[in-house]
Amino acid sequence: MVVVGAGMAGVQTAVALREQGFTGTVTVLGAEPHPPYDRPPLSKAVLLGKADGSAFDIDFPALGIDLLLGREALTVRHGDHVLDTDAGPLPYDALVLATGAEPVLLPGTEGVPGVHLLRTLDDAERLRPVLADQHDVVVVGAGWIGAEFATAAREAGCAVTVVEAADRPLAGALPPEVAAPMTAWYTDLGVDLRTHARVRRVEPGAVLLDDGTRIPAGAVLVGIGARPATGWLAGSGIALGDHGEVVTDAHLRTSAPDVYAVGDCASFPSARYAGRLLIHHWDNALQGPRAVAANILAGATGAPSVVYDPVPYFWSEQFGRFVQYAGHHADADAMIWRGDSSGPAWSVCWLRDGRLVALLAVGRPRDLAQGRRLIEAGATMDVEVLKDAAKPLKSAVV
């Protein structure tokens, strides 16, 4: 077995293969030279110097997992069952693509001094002295990573300005009425949030906006999204989707025989949500590998294949709040509030045909825990009971 990608999805695939009884060779190829590590701490403990790293607590030699680090995958010759790398070919019986996602660059800023991304351990290491020296910081993008970095920068004592092209934070993730209360979080923490703001260019020591405004910037953090890291697969014959992701079936199999894909680089069909999902979140990279491992082994043993159709889940720590989301609200036909959105704890529930399909919880972890199970079960909800934030979410089940 060969796994391309040494992040959460790749490492967990290798571990799951061992846990589920595979006894053959398992090789994990990673582009970075560092021992495999977890990414969420990069925007928190590692960035603030509270931790030197976030390496996985996994004994790879004891599990018989071979790590090939600092190695680049070049292409897949699936007809020959060979992965070509910068250090030579690797034959495989089964191949798992788990290359994750890479950050979208702000046009014209590649290689510009003082412009940073936050995706890798090296990125976090480069940003640590920026925060330690309390530079004026401009964050481009008011999404999840922008909010988390702005929070850390303020904790470090930096002056922070966030510029966002849309009219609100999280414009691509949440409806306007749900994102609106979050605008005040920036002000409360002393962050200058500027919406409808487009960057014309980054200059030495400043960011120039399209309207001529010049914002002082000792450092610039770009957080405008991520795309699947699949460019190396061009010409391989493996089918890619509209967003450049590897297209899989419900068993996480690609269009090529004996090639699977999992995590941020892959989309899969969801019967639960009647569409194809591309999920760039940690929990997907944790859960998907178990299905991949089971299906690889099923192919060898004749056991039934496993369908992968999870309830998506993610969390974010920002501005002193713990934000959690479960489900997928795109096709919901009703939205129900629980609690006062101007307060420290509230939730939003989305229903489709009376059934709970998604939930956002701010400071209400119990709502999230119960809601995630109810989404999984396809529970029908009593709207009037659901509106009462004093009642447990599960009490609204019809």
Q: Give the CA distances from residue 43 to residues 135, 210, 281, 286, in Å, rounded to whole numbers and listed in that order.
A: 17, 29, 14, 19
Q: Is residue 312, in this structure, part of any structural domain at all?
A: no
Whether residue 162 sits in one domain with residue 268: no
Write phi, then psi, for 124 (nearest 5 degrees).
-65, -40
Count of C-beta atoms within a 10 Å radius of residue 5? 27
Assign residue 157 the CATH number of its domain. Answer: 3.50.50.60
* Burial profile 87-110: b = 16 or more Cβ within 10 angstroms, e = fewer: eeebebebbbbbbbbbbeebeebe
Whether residue 234 sits in one domain with residue 217: no
* Burial profile 366-391: b = 16 or more Cβ within 10 angstroms, e = fewer: ebbebbbebbeeebebeeeebeebee
Whether residue 92 sits in one domain with residue 148: no
**pLDDT tops 80 at residue 52:** no
Q: Is residue 308, in this structure, part of any structural domain at all?
A: no
Q: Is residue 309, in this structure, part of any structural domain at all?
A: no
Whether residue 389 sits in one domain with residue 339: yes
Choose one of 193, 222, 251: the last residue of a domain.
222
What is the pLDDT at residue 44?
A: 83
Which tens digits make up the pLDDT trace of 258-275? 999 999 999 999 999 999
Note whether 4 and 83 are within 8 A (CB).
Answer: yes
H helices of 20-143, where? Answer: 60-63, 121-132
Note whether 295 and 282 are within 8 A (CB).
Answer: no
- Which pair of tokens denotes residue 301? 């043993």
Choose one of 251, 271, 301: the last residue of a domain.
301
- Percent of all residues in the chain with a pLDDT value above 70, rounded to a whole number: 100
Whether residue 215 sits in one domain with residue 111: yes
Whether residue 230 sits in one domain with residue 95: yes
Please name the residue that has the structure tokens 């590692």. 46
Local confidence band at 58 (pLDDT 50, 70, 90 cut-offs): very high
Q: Calculate mean pLDDT across residues 2-26.
A: 97
What is the pLDDT at residue 45?
A: 86
Question: For the chain, what is the mean pLDDT?
Answer: 95
Alpha-carbon distance of 91 to 289, in angstroms, equals 21
Whether residue 128 sits in one domain with residue 195: yes
> Which residue has better confidence, 49 or 10?
10
Assign residue 327 the CATH number of its domain. Answer: 3.30.390.30
Domain of 335? Answer: 320-396
**pLDDT tops 90 at residue 111:** no
Choose one of 251, 272, 301: the last residue of a domain.
301
Which tens digits make up the pLDDT trace of 135-173? 999 999 999 999 999 999 999 999 999 999 999 999 989
What is the pLDDT at residue 49?
A: 84
Q: Is residue 278, in this structure, part of any structural domain at all?
A: yes
Q: Is residue 180, in this structure, part of any structural domain at all?
A: yes
Q: Which amino acid is at 356?
A: L
Q: Is residue 233, in this structure, part of any structural domain at all?
A: yes
Please count the CA atoms within 13 angstroms of the CA of 395 that sit on its side-chain side.
10
Whether residue 210 sits in one domain with residue 151: yes
Q: Give the CA distances from residue 21 to residues 275, 295, 338, 346, 361, in Å, rounded to whole numbers and listed in that order.
A: 33, 13, 45, 44, 38
Q: Is residue 188, in this structure, part of any structural domain at all?
A: yes
Q: Calculate mean pLDDT across residues 373-397.
A: 97
Whether residue 157 sits in one domain with residue 83: no
What is the pLDDT at residue 326?
A: 97
Note whether 349 and 384 are within 8 A (CB).
Answer: no
Q: Is residue 237, in this structure, part of any structural domain at all?
A: yes
Whether residue 49 sits in one domain with residue 34: yes
User: 83, exposed or middle or buried, with CB in 10 Å at 0-12, 13-18, 19+?
Assistant: buried
Q: Which amino acid is at 318?
A: Q
Total domains in the fold of the chain: 3
Q: Is the pTM of this model over 0.85?
A: yes
What is the pLDDT at residue 215?
A: 97
What is the pLDDT at residue 42?
A: 86
Note whether 249 and 261 are within 8 A (CB).
Answer: no
Whether residue 211 sits in one domain with residue 145: yes
Q: Which residues contact 11 (CB under 8 A, 6 or more apart)?
A: 28, 36, 56, 58
What is the pLDDT at residue 333?
A: 96
Whether residue 119 sits in one domain with residue 16: no
**pLDDT tops 90 at residue 247:** yes
Alpha-carbon distance of 248 to 261, in angstroms, equals 7
**pLDDT tops 80 at residue 281:** yes
Local confidence band at 62 (pLDDT 50, 70, 90 cut-offs): very high
What is the pLDDT at residue 46?
A: 86
What is the pLDDT at residue 310?
A: 96
